[in-house]
Amino acid sequence: MVGLSGGVDSSVAALLLRDQEYRLEGLFMKNWEEDDVPGYCAAAADLADATLVVRHLGIPLHTVNFATEYWDQVFATFLAEYEANRTPNPDVLCNREIKFRAFLDHARGLGATAIATGHYARRVTDDRGHHLRLSRDPDKDQTYFLHLLDQEQLGCALFPLGDLHKGEVRDLARRAGLTTASKKDSTGICFIGERRFRDFLARYLPPNPGPILTPAGALLGEHQGLAYYTLGQRQGLGIGGQAGSPEAPWYVAGKDPERNALIVVPGHDHPLLFSQGLTTTAPHWIAGQPPREAPFSCRARLRHRQPLQACRVEYLDDTQARLRFSQPQRAVTPGQSAVLYLDEECLGGGVIATTWP
């Protein structure tokens, strides 16, 4: 069962599997009810594209609505994290709970023995189990979003695009005559789509204005609510140039919940924007156990598409791990994931809890 989103990546994943003579069917998931935004009908348009793709490929298409599961298992956590002044990554949780759990269970109920997606990642299986490895296309690699998968989920998953670059995927789509060949890549929150994020978040977390301060306590302006900002952010601060201050643009360097204050600093490379290390929640290991006894050296990615960064990992206790980086890292953001790698293998990772300068 291939998950079809109506985009070019999942379309080509289906094309490749069909040409490899798999017994193949498609499944379109709707995971968000769009009645909250008049005229916003992205899911309907995507379903129409997915329908054209399956007709072209000659395979059946199933549809399912996981909106309730998405709200309960992903979006509720997403809101709680923002309310706690952290910046979550819902796509990570969505993959574990929806695409590789609810979707997998539904596909099995329809008779499937495996699922496939258009993710840019590779799965390798040997006598030690299933391994998640980097995509051949470093600009599109999506292992960061898949690091919470376990052995069962990974063992049932196929990633047909893992050895391809994006340009090759579009070429395959064009040569096959797929209607999605030139469709632009989707952005924004998984399944929620491309919306003005602050306005969307304000529907669930009302504004709570407070002061914008320098580290020394000088008042520069007013923010609309700490939940609406993330570390390293430049746009949307509304403070412009300040008399007697450097001309460099201002960036979010911290949040002070006790004062409901947003702390900003001038300049992209201000020292307060950098961290030497971080602690995470208890790491999830794809293999089911750590790769070796701690402390050990590996590489980490703190956000999608960030180049891998050398670090050393140690365990503080059963609930925390600590990463110390060879080079200071900019805008390390609590709530995001720190994902660990050895060579080309994604080991797993944990949610960033705290940082130190």
pLDDT at 345 over 70: yes
Question: Is 161 found in the same domain as 14?
Answer: yes
Q: Look up residue 61 and give its amino acid.
A: L
Which of the listed residues 219, 252, 268 is the one where a domain comes to its end? 268
* 120-129 confidence digits (pLDDT tens): 999 999 999 9
User: Is 298 one of the catalytic residues?
Assistant: no
Domain tally, the chain: 3
Question: Is 229 found in the same domain as 147?
Answer: no
Q: CATH no. for residue 287?
A: 2.40.30.10
Q: Which helix (H) or strand (E) holds 115?
A: strand 115-116
Q: CATH no. for residue 249?
A: 2.30.30.280
The bridge status of strand 157-158 relative to strand 250-256 is: unpaired
Question: Is 337 found in the same domain as 191?
Answer: no
* 301-321 confidence digits (pLDDT tens): 999 999 999 999 998 777 899
Q: Which helix (H) or strand (E) holds 311?
A: strand 309-317
The more confident residue out of 243 and 10 is 10
Question: Is 138 found in the same domain as 85?
Answer: yes
* 262-302 confidence digits (pLDDT tens): 999 999 999 999 999 999 999 999 999 988 888 999 999 99
pLDDT at 233 over 60: yes
The bridge status of strand 345-356 relative to strand 337-342 is: antiparallel
Q: Which of 337, 321, 333, 325 is nearest to 298 (CA)?
A: 325
Residues of the domain holding 238: 207-268
Question: Is 238 found in the same domain as 153?
Answer: no
Question: Is 131 found in the same domain as 10?
Answer: yes
Does some domain include residue 313? yes
* This model's pTM is above 0.75: yes
Q: Where does the pLDDT of residue 32 fall: very low under 50, low under 70, confident under 90, or very high at 90 and above?
A: confident
Structure tokens, 24: 């193949």
Which of the listed residues 222, 238, 268 is the one where a domain comes to its end? 268
State how far the alpha carbon of 35 is from the alpha carbons of 42, 60, 191, in Å: 11, 28, 14
Q: Write down the pLDDT at residue 38.
A: 45
Q: What is the mean pLDDT of the chain?
A: 92
Quick check: helix, strand or coil at residue 350? strand
Q: Write down the pLDDT at residue 39.
A: 43
Q: Look up residue 200 and give its amino acid.
A: F
State how far the alpha carbon of 154 is from the alpha carbons of 101, 173, 211, 300, 301, in Å: 11, 26, 46, 21, 20
276 backbone φψ class: left, alpha, beta (φ>0; ψ -120 to 50): alpha
The 10 Å Cβ neighbour count of residue 61 is 18
Alpha helices in the chain (DSSP H): 8-19, 42-57, 67-70, 76-83, 90-94, 103-109, 151-155, 166-176, 197-202
Structure tokens, 118: 């258009």
Does some domain include residue 202? no
Which residue in the list 41, 156, 190, 311 is annotated as catalytic? Answer: 190
